[in-house]
Amino acid sequence: MDIAADFGAFGEEFFRNPHPVYAELRARGPVHRVRVPEGADVWLVVGYEACKDTLINPTLSKDWKHASTDLPLTRLSSGHNLLSSDPPDHTRLRGLVSSEFTPRRVETLLPRVEALTDELLDTMLSSPDGRADLVEALAFPLAIGIICELLGVPSLDRGSFRTWAEQALSSPDRDIRLAATGAMTAYLVGMIDEKRGRPGDDLISALICRTTDEDGDRLSSDELIGMAWLLLVTGFETTVNLIASGVLALLRRPDQLAALRADFGLIDNAVEEMLRYETPVETTTYRFTTGSVKIGGVTVPGGGELVLIALADAGRDAARFPDPNRFDIRRATGGHLSFGHGIHYCLGAPLARIQAATAITALLERCPDLALDSDPASLPWRQGLLIRGPRILRVRWTDGAPKESQAPSPNVTCDT
């Protein structure tokens, strides 16, 4: 099959708005051979039904041992984790960690998310010129603060984690991605060794010391590294971009912003619409063919061919969501695929939703005149096809009384 699109040749405008390109491909069929920015030729699945079916296709593997040696790509994570395993191994790993992400546990985190949100808004609203980059002032410190405290990562290391994560997930330069992954891995090895000797009241210590099933199973050292990498990197990255993209969508549509301000009871559905309209995970992590497989009527060869599923396009398919390019916080959004589908459904979805709903509600309540402070057409967006969201979101306000600040603290892993 000929190359249908070379994403690396499209430039900045594609990363800012890839939806017209995906829509054009979808109009021609559900499966296409495309070239990704890293230079690899892969199979891209578009359209809601084809994406949903492919997410649960058991003949596609997430284990890198099945990847073709001809693929000029690097792994997106370190260690052995949910993003690089298949059943029964995946079933075992998910079972060992899923108890830490129950709805009950998420509910206990809500007061801490609220406290950190208020503290960050206090600081932001103290700006003398009434302006800020919302990514730097709220979305990033909230998401990284929650996940780092949850896992037991020292606050002084959080800046390093952000740099490593952005480079590992988004840099088009293979050497930079490898170096960032290596630096992250080295840090995690040291952190895990330290917690073995001095366990604390955090998730990593729990995974080391207490995470067992009824048969006494535990995570191996490689699995601990992989799980820590997954929780840290995909956890805060997805939440940062959900908050930033969601606020941007509201500020560009005064009618929707006014509707939410008039009734904050709409916030939960608004978050779902944000996820559908501008999902923070543009395409899924890698899946490899273990044999020839038919997807949407197209036969994809075996031999470790790479298959990517365009979650961003699934949410914009008019066959599933009428008038899909219209942002509507009252829309029936049920069934969107932004957290995946099937056994790899996002483990931390409840916590991501709570953080976004809390942060956006508090921001709008305390900033009644919040507005964009830059041309949205010139905003820089994340590079690459995995994580999607604006890198900078400049806003301004003219009013907003700080509340009493409280204390910080815990986020999400996307297993898609």
Give 204-228 pLDDT, tens digit per residue.
Answer: 888 887 555 555 667 788 888 888 8
The hierarchical CATH code for the domain 3-396 is 1.10.630.10
Gap between the Cα atoms of 223 and 320, Å rounded: 38
45 φ/ψ angles, rounded to the nearest 5 degrees: -105, 130
CB-CB contact of 75 with 84 (8 Å)? yes
Strand order in the sheet with 60-61: 3-6, 31-35, 41-45, 306-309, 287-289, 60-61
pLDDT score recorded for residue 184: 83
- State the Cα torsion 222-228-232-233 to the nearest 10°: 10
Task: Give the integer Cα–Cα distance in Å for 297 and 111.
Answer: 49
C-alpha Rg value of the chain to the nearest Å: 21
CB 254 within 8 A of CB 129: no
Q: How far are the Cα atoms of 88, 150, 151, 227 from residue 101, in angstroms, in the given order?
A: 20, 11, 13, 13
CA 204 distance to own-chain centroid: 20
Per-residue tokens: 415 = 């297993």
Strands 3-6, 31-35: pairing kind: parallel
- The pLDDT score that the predictor gives to residue 412 is 41
Taking every pair of Cα atoms in the chain, the longest distance, rounded to a whole number of angstroms, is 61
Size of the chain, expressed as the number of residues it contains: 416
Residues in the chain, pLDDT under 70: 74-78, 99-102, 156, 210-217, 399-416
